[in-house]
Amino acid sequence: MAGSCYVMDYRGQFHFAVPPVVLWSRIEQFDQFERWWGWLGSFRTEGEGLREGSVLRGVVAPPLPYRMAVQVELTRCDPGRRLDADVTGDLAGDAHLRLRPDGEGTVTDVEWSLEMLQRPMRWVARVGYPLLRWGHDRVVEATVGSFRSELERLQAPPGP
């Protein structure tokens, strides 16, 4: 259903100033997710970290008046390199994360294709897809920005 107004396709690339193994270990800090990302609520996990079969559940609240309950099942995990997931709930599709070394840092490639299943979201998508796209892109920017800030804070030498 790619290309439909009901589907949010995304591809992005981001650089982080830490090696892949450090980035991966930070992503595994599930207990910090709601603190890092204000748009995420009711977050819980089943399974041991970023492992095949682990399930992450939560409610996404973008800067628009709707909420989405999602479940993310990890289908392939190669620590420090690759993560693939199936998404179900109010969104359905697949998501992928690739990490590769870049000097002392990491380049990440992210990609997903997610269909909006809530009836109100589908209605808004028919009449205002650009607004939904805007909300989506703000959530992505906020996620990357806050995660990057957290990594920088953790990497900074302690003050006097």
**51 touches 77 (CB < 8 A):** yes
**132 touches 140 (CB < 8 A):** no
E strand map for the chain? 7-16, 40-46, 55-60, 68-78, 82-89, 91-102, 105-116
Domains, the chain: 7-155 (3.30.530.20)
**92 touches 72 (CB < 8 A):** no
**90 touches 118 (CB < 8 A):** yes
Query: Of how many residues is the chain composed?
Result: 160
Q: pLDDT tens digits, the chain, 160 residues: what are they?
A: 556 889 999 999 999 999 999 999 999 999 998 988 888 899 999 998 899 999 999 998 877 777 899 999 999 999 999 999 999 999 999 999 999 999 999 999 999 999 999 998 898 889 988 888 888 888 898 889 989 988 888 775 555 5
Going by the DSSP 8-state scheme, the letter that residue 140 receives in this structure is: H
